[in-house]
Structure 1
């Protein structure tokens, strides 16, 4: 359990570093918007390509794992849309609540899985990433389109926005390289991995830069709903599905871990790029990361 807390702690400290940098407005107020674009269009896609292109999936029950993770994610996405009117949120705020409920922090998931089950856990986590990242990005970008935060775009332009999403493209490239057997030959693997490593720390600092401490005091139906789904209800459903489908202990633990993770730092980048409530998104990320320090060990101890 200490390995999970150890993985989350540094992430939160990087967010706090961003808070300090943002308060000092260093190096300038115009620097971080450009950095956000670099993270969104280059660094995060590189991280996805590097993860997916070299994953060994032969020892993982891919079908059952996909069923557990994608059914849970899709179910709670539909639940949120069904109760959208009851939540009484602006379109921008709703997209942030939606992302907070369905996205997950890839770094913590892979690091936690490796700490719990070694190479078998890391491989299963890579498969989970390959299954979930394309689906969750389509779901989240579609939520922006449906909520209208992209403006008065036509259906064709909205579809184009989905097709050009760099995170989805990164997943498709990584999966294609894996299935073709090409992988990342020569220097390309080291180059892509170096780029990918920069995505997480810079993304976390960017979250902190935009964070407003007062936003953490926001307490409405949307915040309660997104936190309850992500940290309590999603893990409960995944644990039930894993039991019904007879997942082995490694796959069950990794599925539960990914279901109970705090939302992804890339959710903030997406909110900034596509018209979401970025301030609320930053508060949700920080709040969930803090609460997950308690809830993640609880869930993993429950099945352990």
Structure 2
């Protein structure tokens, strides 16, 4: 459990730093926007190149992949239906809500937890690549179209993903992995330095928002946040567990890995996406905040029951 607690403590300390910097007026809302844009356009694409280039794509083509896809589909579709039919959200807000309910913190929480708690960092690969190669391209395409002005021809729809920096970074990383290529040191070294900014920039921007924006639970639709967190922390790991245990018949270690990964909280980069497109910012922020807090006891219960 040390890896679990260490991962959460690390994230919390950097968020607290952003909150403190905003409180003493070293950083303000303009800094939050700059950090978010820096993470979206520069640091995160570099991080995706480095992470995916080092990932064995064959690790994804396994039974845990099906359990992860199933858990994502169930909670994602449930949130989309609720957002459109109950809360009458537009396409952009619905996309941020679906991201908040189904997109797990596979990077800065998932990697250390998989390594320290589950014993193998590669176990996070199926969920990580589902998100980077399927969920993110689809969601960002919808956000591009929903938040842009003017008519949308099929050429525009096809072209938009090709100009998104996160998708470009993902594509380069996958290509390097598939071709088993390594970048030369003069390219790799600065790329890794820039990639190192991604997670701190996201977390500090998030901390600024917590200090300068409305308090979590205020300024947004509280019942919607509650449902999103319920889907994220309870329903998604439950679906993953049922699929892994009773449909795919995975062994105990496989069931534990799939369930723990599905129970991870909403990823901080959803806040960056919301900020970038100017939609669902408070919804994403509050979902991340509450799911991160509640995922700690959820993960401890899962570990206690399944280990």
User: What is the TM-score normalised by the length of structure 2?
Assistant: 0.87
**1:151 to 1:101, Cα distance in 2 relative to 1, 3 A:** farther
Q: Please say if residues 234 and 260 of structure 1, whose CA atoms lie closer than 8 Å, have aligned partners that are also in contact.
A: yes
The ranges of structure 1 where at least 4 consecutive aligned residues each deviate by more than 6 angstroms after the TM superposition are none
Work out the CA distance in 1 between the residues paired with 2:303 and 2:295: 12
Alignment partner, residue 224 of structure 1 = 226
Work out the CA distance in 2 between the residues paired with 1:31 and 1:80: 32
Alignment partner, residue 293 of structure 2 = 290
**1:253 to 1:186, Cα distance in 2 relative to 1, 3 A:** farther
Q: Deviations over 1:183-222 (max 9, x none)?
A: 3343444433332222111110111112235233456331
* Pairs within 5 Å for 1:170-249: 170-211=169-210, 212-217=213-218, 220-243=222-245, 244-249=247-252
Higher helix share: 1
Alignment partner, residue 79 of structure 2 = 80
Alignment partner, residue 13 of structure 2 = 13
Work out the CA distance in 1 between the residues paired with 2:104 and 2:83: 21
Q: Deviations over 1:211-251 (max 9, x none)?
A: 23523345633112210111000000111111121334444
The offset of 1:171, in angstroms, is: 1.6
Structure 1 stretches of 5 or more lacking a match?
Answer: none
**1:232 to 1:100, Cα distance in 2 relative to 1, 3 A:** same
Q: Please say if residues 69 and 255 of structure 1, whose CA atoms lie closer than 8 Å, have aligned partners that are also in contact.
A: yes
Alignment partner, residue 130 of structure 1 = 129
Q: Does 1:273 align with 2:271?
A: no
**1:90 to 1:81, Cα distance in 2 relative to 1, 3 A:** closer
What's the Cα RMSD here? 2.4
Q: Does 1:69 align with 2:72?
A: no
Structure 2 stretches of 5 or more lacking a match?
Answer: none
User: What is the TM-score normalised by the length of structure 1?
Assistant: 0.88
**1:54 to 1:27, Cα distance in 2 relative to 1, 3 A:** same
Q: Deviations over 1:257-293 (max 9, x none)?
A: 2211111111111101123121232122112111112
